[in-house]
């Protein structure tokens, strides 16, 4: 009986600490969003005929962190960062409309 009461008390204390930690994390995320510190990152796979030329051209776009041609494939891969999903969508439209780009596949970074 005493053991059950102690276990319940320990469990309640652990749950309280976890809730406090979650609240702190939520507050930090909210503050970061307010200060525009959180960015949307993605990997963009670009199917094209001349991956090296395309990578060099896309490397110059604002928001493109890195652009490389992939060996053995007709693809280039980009690492991009934007402040919002809307600006990411705009960047992806620019990438898609680049001459020589056939198809774009996007994977959001976690």
To the question of pTM greater than 0.75 for the whole model, the response is: no
Domain 40-108, what fold? Alpha-Beta Plaits (3.30.70)
Contact predicate 64/78, CB 8 Å: yes
Q: Does position 34 have pLDDT exceeding 80, yes or no?
A: no
> In this predicted structure, what is the pLDDT of residue 101?
94
Distance between terminal CA atoms of the chain? 46
Helix (H, G, I), strand (E, B) or coil at 28: helix
How buried is 19 (Cβ within 10 angstroms: 0-12 exposed, 13-18 middle, 19+ buried)? Answer: exposed
Give the mean model confidence (pLDDT) for residues 78-97: 93
CA distances to 2, 16, 20, 49 from 6, in Å: 6, 15, 21, 68
Q: Does position 18 have pLDDT exceeding 90, yes or no?
A: no
The domains of the chain are located at: 1-38, 40-108
> In this predicted structure, what is the pLDDT of residue 60?
95
What confidence tier does 23 reach under pLDDT thresholds 50, 70, 90? Answer: confident
> In this predicted structure, what is the pLDDT of residue 17?
78
């Amino acid at each position: 009986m005493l053991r059950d009461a102690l276990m319940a008390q320990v469990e309640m204390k652990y749950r309280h600490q976890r809730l406090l930690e979650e609240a702190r994390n939520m507050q930090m995320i909210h503050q970061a969003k307010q200060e525009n510190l959180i960015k949307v990152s993605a990997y963009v796979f670009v199917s094209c005929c001349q991956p090296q030329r395309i990578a060099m051209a896309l490397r110059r776009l604002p928001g493109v962190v890195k652009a490389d041609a992939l060996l053995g494939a007709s693809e280039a891969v980009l690492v991009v960062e934007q402040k919002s999903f809307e600006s990411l969508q705009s960047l992806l439209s620019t990438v898609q409309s680049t001459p020589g780009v056939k198809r774009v596949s996007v994977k959001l970074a976690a």
